Amino acid sequence: MGTSVQVTPLCGVYNENPLSYLVSIDGFNFLIDCGWNDHFDPSLLEPLSRVASTVDAVLLSHPDTLHLGALPYAMKQLGLSAVVYSTEPVYRLGLLTMYDQYLSRKQVSDFDLFTLDDIDSAFQNVTRLTYAQNHHLSGKGEGIVISPHVSGHLLGGTVWKITKDGEDVIYAVDFNHRKEKHLNGINQASFVRPAVLITDAYNALNNQPYRRQKDKEFTDTIKKTLRSDGNVLLPVDTAGRVLELVQILESCWADENLNYPIFFLTYVASSTIDYVKSFLEWMSDSIAKSFEKTRENAFILKRITLLVNKSELDNAPDGPKVVLASMASLEAGFSHDIFVEWATDPKNLVLFTERAQFGTLARMLQADPPPKAVKVTMSKRVPLVGEELIAYEEEQNRIRKEEALKASLIKEEESKSVQGADVSMSDPMVVDASNTHSLLDAAGPHGGGYRDMLIDGFTPPSTSAAPMFPFYENNSDWDDFGEVINPDDYVIKDADMDQGAVHVGGDMDGKLDEGSASLILDTRPSKVVATELTVQVKCSLIYMDFEGRSDARSIKSILSHMAPLKLVLVHGTAEATEHLKQHCLKHVCPHVYAPQIEETIDVTSDLCAYKVQLSEKLMSNVLFKKLGDYEIAWVDSEAGKTENGALSLLPISTPAPPHESVLVGDLKMANFKQFLSDNGVQVEFAGGALRCGEYVTLRKVGDASHKGGGSGTQQIVIEGPLCEDYYKIREYLYSQFYLL
């Protein structure tokens, strides 16, 4: 039997809710993604809470809330304690995304689901991997290899490949095949014939125009609004698709020499761009090549101003402007407040670049037709003053006194248990706990402090003859140069540096901008004041798809190329999921599953895999031929068992039967055309075939990767009369392969 694989959706099937899935491989439990939405509704995490303690490893695919937003809460409240794996950009940008989420909510509500410390604690467990790096698990996961690959959706976004005993389980959600300004597309060649493919149906009903056409329409719409003296608001995520929009606007403004101001406003805007500047190796080939030639970093922004406080935007000069502000859902953050201010002006434009989460203000505004008025809540945090401040301080004093009293009672109990029967009450250094109140009265306001000092500092252990201070003998080793030290004791770990740094001014060594740090350090008593408003929506509302996901046509083509043995569909509306399921059953593979929440499906491979040893007798007579990075050989053998009962391949006892010659290799017609040309053969492509000289034609028949293929092998057909050119070209063709 093949590797045992079970898939259990915990959130995000038959809808557009956050993504979270439990994948068990031979009893090792992976939690792939740990998402939450902008409502931060704990009820969505109930399925996760029931299995969190059984998770052995967490794999994060993208640095946005829908893929990792629940990680701090799950670590703090649900018992999730497994090691987490991600790429470096997902780790860094995911951290900033969660900071921005927390700070945006803390300013408008008494948000208490998690704190900044909880975020730091959760992300301390992250092990960072590079693309195509094979990471071998140990212990319970012995034999399992995980590897991240490019997804093309967000910076650092990952398609996870999990391999066990030669069988691949691929998790590919929110991928993009198109090359963009700052990202490469998915590499389809890395995922052919996996045993199990888990993918989403989010875009299964949507098709997109060409990228250049879409980019031009985007910038033309913005310029038209600006030239009409209007403002443009783009509600964006913290550190995801906003990076592509930044590159489009920078490029357009530079090419056309526009002077309209552009602002990027989040609580962590400066830190986001600082980190992104150091991630060029994770970006598109064009950005990498440009940096190699000109040494100019594409994310040194010359026309976009970074802001971390709305007051900075309010103080900006009057006139038309473009503002990219978080959050994309308009549920919180700077975008919410700016929308309320700008919505009543018909000259302004709110341009949505992604489908908003269900049930949010942005989703409501994306309806067709949009509402003419919406009810919103405007909230802000204000310092306590007057009677409220006095009442707050009195309450805090009362709480401190209660805590101090509890602490003193606990110390008294501990002191009694330590002293026990070995301590004589006549000892002048021991205070009788029964006389505590009289001692306090006699000692005045400092009596409690002296009493604690006597008990804690001078209580003798039962083995001592008299009270004494603790003494520790130094047993360090010494050499000719002095005391021998351990250098590791003086190394400052990265995690300690991250925790100890309060990030000010966008410095790369920390995490938060100056404005954000001031919010954290402001400990003044405050309260949240909320006001209900009805906003008349007179501004223009436009949606353009810049989500960076493959469209329906491309998804179907990519799935046919991957040709999985079994396919699991998640994350998409019921209509989209059912549509893609029916298409895949007809054109991709016969085993397609679309499970419900907490429904466990068994997608164990039908193939049988065995581990066998190659005996020394067999290997001593094998002749290997080098093929790229590998060595290959034809082996005739028979199965047997070793002395310890393990399966082994042994030399056959009778002469090996003859076998047909096998040509091993993958011929690229373009490369072969160049090879023939270098050898003096006149060659050209004509009608999909390679015409060699006057009489001979080569063409490829069949494609092993086509629609799951496997039904026929790839063939190279030579057509032409039996002449000298025919035999010469056939010999050249054979030289491109390895003959076994």
Q: What is the pLDDT of residues 560-619, one digit of tens each?
A: 999 999 999 999 999 999 999 999 999 999 999 999 999 999 999 777 777 788 877 778
- The whole-number average pLDDT for the span 212-229 is 94
Question: Of all residues in the chain, what percent carry a pLDDT higher than 90?
Answer: 55
Angle between helices 269-277 and 88-106 (to 10 degrees): 180
Residue 672 has pLDDT above 60, yes or no: yes
Residue 472 has pLDDT above 80, yes or no: no
Residue 711 C-beta-side C-alpha neighbours within 13 Å: 9
**What are the backbone dihedrals phi and psi of residue 455, each rounded to the nearest 5 degrees, phi first?**
-70, -45
pLDDT of 660 reads 77
pLDDT of 519 reads 59
Residue 8 has pLDDT above 90, yes or no: yes
Task: Give the whole-angstrom CA distance, residue 327 versus residue 348.
Answer: 19
Residue 450 has pLDDT above 60, yes or no: no
Residue whose entry in the numeric block shows the structure tokens 């695919």: 61
β-pair partners for 22: 8, 31
Task: Give the whole-angstrom CA distance, residue 188 versus residue 555.
Answer: 11
Residue 322 has pLDDT above 60, yes or no: yes
Task: Give the whole-angstrom CA distance, residue 344 versus residue 735.
Answer: 73
E strand intervals along 151-237 = 158-164, 167-172, 196-200, 232-235
Residue 338 C-beta-side C-alpha neighbours within 13 Å: 34
Residue 426 has pLDDT above 80, yes or no: no
pLDDT of 669 reads 80
pLDDT of 568 reads 97
Using an 8 Å Cβ cutoff, are 549 and 555 in contact?
Answer: no
- The whole-number average pLDDT for the span 269-290 is 94
Residue 709 has pLDDT above 50, yes or no: no
What's the Cα-to-Cα distance from 72 to each of 86, 99, 100, 111, rounded to whole Å?
15, 11, 14, 14
Residue whose entry in the numeric block shows the structure tokens 């809540």: 377
Residue whose entry in the numeric block shows the structure tokens 């396919």: 567
Residue 234 has pLDDT above 90, yes or no: yes
pTM for the model: 0.76
pLDDT of 418 reads 61
Task: Give the whole-angstrom CA distance, residue 315 versus residue 613.
Answer: 74
Using an 8 Å Cβ cutoff, are 186 and 286 in contact?
Answer: no
How many helices and strands, by DSSP H and E, does the chain display?
22, 35
Amino acid (one-letter) located at 302: K
Q: Give the DSSP H or E segment for 669.
A: helix 669-678
Amino acid (one-letter) located at 508: M
